[in-house]
Amino acid sequence: MHLKTVFALLLLTSITTAAMAQNSPDSLRHLSDSLQYSSDSAQQKPAGAAADDPSQFFTRVELFNELQHYGKKDFYLNQTVLRANIKIGKRFTTRIDIPFVYNSLSTAAEYSQLGIGDISFRLLGYKLIENPKSAITASVEISLNTAASPILGTGKNLVIPVVSYTRVIPRQKILLALVVQQANSVSGDKSRSNISFSKIQAVVIKTLTRKTWVVVAPEWFIDYVHGGLSMNFRSRYNITPRPRINFFATASAGIFGDFAGRYQWSGELGCRYFLLRNRHAKK
């Protein structure tokens, strides 16, 4: 388990270093351009609402901390996630998440309450279709049973296919998206329940100014092991003080259901940094 964690950290370091050394920078495609306010600048910049568009691929590093509070008294999770998105050519991307988790629950077995959680890789995100107003992407995410303690992870290795559809409404500066995931456990701790659920998320991105935008993202979970439907409501405020830097704050509330991924409420603060240089584009 510890070897897996060390390997993942080394892999993240090597990927990030390679990305920073690339010569060809990221650029916005027309789908994202239609969300931006017009500018006299000759530069295309990976900023604004396009940063949260699931159909757009940018090489970047993100760091965010989320506090999740559940229905039980004094039960919460605090996790800090280091995420690296790496763009590969025009149509491919990959992603790695390394979570550092604190679980407030103490156990009779005295499991560690603090440490690395389940590391996940999103492999070869691919744009199936892209035109000036819409896009469809697909990818496969692998979540590994790397948690340093049983209460810091699922205890299972997961395979999660992901498909997203995005459509932009230029006049209102709104982007609409639908993201569908199907998670299935394939191996891991035999003493723990298998995992099989669908997550359906609607995403609405509204550009406010050249430097600010909001995201509203209700999400539903369909649990096929224990049964039932659950829902979260998430909202995010974003600001980009400089072209290569975003800051964001997210608030979430559990609306109904008892799925493990639905919390009573959560708060999140984070930032993202685009690694590659901006591209000078012709007007």
Domain that holds residue 115: 2-280
- Give the span between the Cα atoms of 43 and 186, in whole angstroms: 46
The number of folded domains in the chain is 1
Cα of first residue to Cα of last residue in the chain, in angstroms, is 52
Q: What is the pLDDT along the chain (283 residues), one digit of tens a residue?
A: 444 444 444 444 444 334 333 333 332 333 344 444 333 332 333 346 777 888 888 889 999 999 999 877 788 999 999 999 998 887 888 999 999 999 998 887 889 999 999 999 998 789 899 888 899 999 999 999 999 999 999 999 999 999 999 999 888 889 999 999 999 999 999 999 999 999 999 999 999 988 999 999 999 999 999 999 999 999 999 999 988 899 999 999 999 999 988 888 999 999 999 886 544 333 3
User: What span, in angstroms and rounded, lies between the C-alpha atoms of 211 and 43?
Assistant: 15
Residues listed for the chain: 283
Euclidean distance between CA atoms 231 and 233, whole angstroms: 7
Q: Which residues of 104-173 form beta strands (DSSP E)? A: 114-116, 120-130, 134-143, 156-169
List residues bridging with 128 in a β-sheet: none
For residues 4-23, one letter each, b for 16 or more C-beta atoms within 10 angstroms of the residue's C-beta and e for the rest, the string is: ebeebeeebeebbeebeeee
For tokens 């909001």, what's the residue? 214
**Residue 258's CATH number:** 2.40.160.40
Determine the Cα–Cα distance for residues 117 and 151; give it in Å rounded to an integer: 9
pTM: 0.80
